[in-house]
């Protein structure tokens, strides 16, 4: 440093006049020499001891699994509700949780109140009315079918006579524009249209009858199982009221119990815009539930909504996953975390993803050398959350830098009077 050269030149001059100096001047000179010597010693020592250490990792061979993570909830676990529209007091309960029932088996019986009796009677009347409507629709269908066959036969006989057909049964097109032919043809087509329309009316009447019957069953004082399965979540006991609010009016449909049927749970998770294009039907999935600790479930992707749903400017794409096995612990609306398997490779070169540097679409890593570090271009393959496959550019055992370098020795301030202790000390960050 320039100022140090000037300082030593000044000392040399003073030493030339050392004998002529007074005592206090000599003392000051000696003190300066000691301070400057100590300062030089500290700086030289710091330069020798100061070195850069790196956080590093070694390229290794191993297995790597690429996944997409998503969260969601359980949609269903093959549970059917046994509901009732009746109101009154529970008279008898015929089952308990865990009982296996068949479709139509009794679950409980209700002593109907006035509103319940009225609703039951109305449901029966609606059922009878729907049954009558179906019978009328079917009778009309029979009439229209007969009319269709009659008019078709009339048209067929007319079309096959010599006036409208040639000897080889080919049509005489020039005569088939005559009013007699057109009227007969249109009568047949109109009869056919009416008959087909009445078939639709019969289907509607049948659906209305089915609906009326189900409403009648739900209004009945006897609640039955809607399907084969196992009773769960039985909500009532004898003496309890059902379907009646404090105001004395009847409430809407009440769940009495649920029937667990055979089948595997269905889960819905939300994918991000980045991940949705990577997920395909048939991909394997591992799942975990917050409510079931230390257990991992497996499943498969069975559907992906690629239109998505946007809320507050964020678009999410639901994916449907079916679990491989049944589990009684899994209940509707439980929170689920899913890891969807995209691809996997065995015995490949792997490196922590933190070591990669992206520049202009090219991947690089830093490797240490004698003077610091240098950049090496690499080709990468699949990635997991923490590791990346190295296709080319590195070999097994190569060391790469994963973190920034740090100076291991504390740096001193430039003041010649700083001894390295106290407020004057500064640590390199």
User: What are the start-end ranges of the H helices in 83-222?
Assistant: 114-159, 179-219
pLDDT band, residue 416 (cuts 50/70/90): very low
pLDDT band, residue 260 (cuts 50/70/90): confident
Whole-number percent of the chain with pLDDT over 90: 51
74 in Cβ contact with 331 (< 8 Å): yes
Q: Cα angle at 28 between 26 and 31, to 5 degrees?
A: 110
pLDDT band, residue 77 (cuts 50/70/90): confident
How long is the chain?
Answer: 429
pLDDT band, residue 78 (cuts 50/70/90): confident
306 or 77, greater pLDDT: 306
| Rounded distance between C-alpha atoms, residue 336 and residue 359, angstroms | 37
Element spanning 37, H or E? helix 23-49
Cα 250 from chain centre: 40
DSSP state of 112: E
DSSP state of 355: G
The rounded mean pLDDT for the chain is: 84
Indicate yes or no: pTM above 0.75.
no
DSSP 311-347: ETTEEEEEEEEEESS--TT--TT-EEEEEEEEEEEEE
Cβ neighbours, 10 Å, residue 129? 13
Q: Kindly report, residue by residue over 116-157, the tens digit of the pLDDT.
A: 999 999 999 999 999 999 999 999 999 999 999 999 999 999
Q: Kindly report, residue by residue over 177-191, the tens digit of the pLDDT.
A: 999 999 999 999 999
Cα 145 from chain centre: 53
Instruction: Please tell me whether residue 257 adopts helix, strand or coil conformation.
Output: strand
By CB atoms closer than 10 A (0-12, 13-18, 19+), residue 310 is exposed
86 in Cβ contact with 112 (< 8 Å): yes
187 in Cβ contact with 151 (< 8 Å): yes
Cβ neighbours for 59, distance < 8 A, ≥ 6 positions apart? 349, 350, 351, 390, 394, 395, 396, 397, 398, 399, 400
Q: Kindly report, residue by residue over 15-44, the tens digit of the pLDDT.
A: 665 556 566 666 776 677 777 666 766 665
Q: Kindly report, residue by residue over 309-325, the tens digit of the pLDDT.
A: 888 888 999 999 999 99
pLDDT at 344: 87
DSSP state of 307: S
390 in Cβ contact with 58 (< 8 Å): no
426 in Cβ contact with 410 (< 8 Å): yes
Of 4, 409, 77, 61, residue with least CA distance to 233: 77
70 in Cβ contact with 275 (< 8 Å): yes
| Rounded distance between C-alpha atoms, residue 68 and residue 148, angstroms | 62
pLDDT at 23: 64
């Amino acid at each position: 440093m320039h100022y140090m050269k000037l300082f030593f030149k000044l000392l040399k001059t003073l030493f030339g006049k050392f004998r002529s100096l007074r005592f206090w001047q000599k003392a000051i000179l000696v003190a300066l020499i000691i301070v400057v010597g100590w300062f030089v010693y500290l700086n030289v020592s710091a330069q020798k001891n100061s070195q850069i250490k790196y956080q590093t990792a070694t390229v290794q061979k191993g297995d790597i699994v690429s996944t997409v993570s998503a969260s969601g909830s359980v949609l269903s676990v093959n549970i059917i509700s046994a509901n009732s529209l009746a109101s009154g007091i529970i008279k008898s309960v015929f089952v308990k949780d865990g009982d296996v029932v068949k479709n139509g088996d009794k679950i409980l019986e209700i002593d109907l109140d006035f509103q319940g009796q009225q609703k039951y009677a109305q449901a029966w009347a609606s059922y009878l009315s729907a049954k009558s409507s179906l019978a009328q629709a079917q009778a009309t269908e029979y009439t229209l079918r007969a009319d269709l066959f009659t008019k078709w036969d009339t048209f067929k006989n007319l079309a096959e006579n010599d006036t409208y057909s040639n000897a080889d049964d080919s049509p005489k097109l020039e005569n088939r524009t005559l009013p007699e032919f057109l009227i007969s043809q249109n009568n047949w087509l109109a009869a056919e249209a009416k008959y087909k329309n009445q078939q639709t009316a019969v289907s509607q009447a049948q659906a209305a009858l089915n609906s009326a019957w189900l409403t009648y069953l739900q209004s009945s004082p006897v609640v039955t199982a809607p399907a084969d399965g196992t009773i769960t979540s039985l909500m009532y006991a004898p003496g309890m009221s059902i379907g009646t609010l404090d105001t004395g009016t009847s409430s809407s449909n009440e769940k009495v119990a649920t029937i667990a049927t055979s089948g595997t749970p269905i889960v819905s998770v939300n994918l991000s815009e980045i991940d949705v294009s990577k997920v395909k039907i048939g991909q394997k999935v591992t799942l975990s539930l917050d409510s079931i600790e230390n257990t991992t479930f497996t499943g498969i992707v069975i559907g992906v909504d690629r239109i998505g749903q946007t809320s507050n400017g964020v678009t999410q794409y639901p994916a449907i996953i079916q679990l491989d096995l049944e589990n009684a612990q899994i209940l509707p609306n439980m929170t689920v975390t899913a890891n969807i398997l995209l691809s996997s490779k065995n015995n490949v070169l792997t490196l922590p993803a933190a070591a990669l540097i992206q520049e202009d679409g090219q991947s690089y890593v830093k490797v240490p050398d004698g003077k610091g570090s240098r950049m090496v271009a690499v080709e990468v393959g699949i990635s997991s959350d923490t590791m990346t496959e190295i296709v080319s550019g590195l070999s097994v055992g190569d060391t790469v830098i994963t973190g920034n370098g740090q100076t291991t020795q504390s740096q001193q301030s430039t003041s010649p009077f700083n001894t390295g202790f106290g407020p004057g000390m500064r640590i390199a960050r």
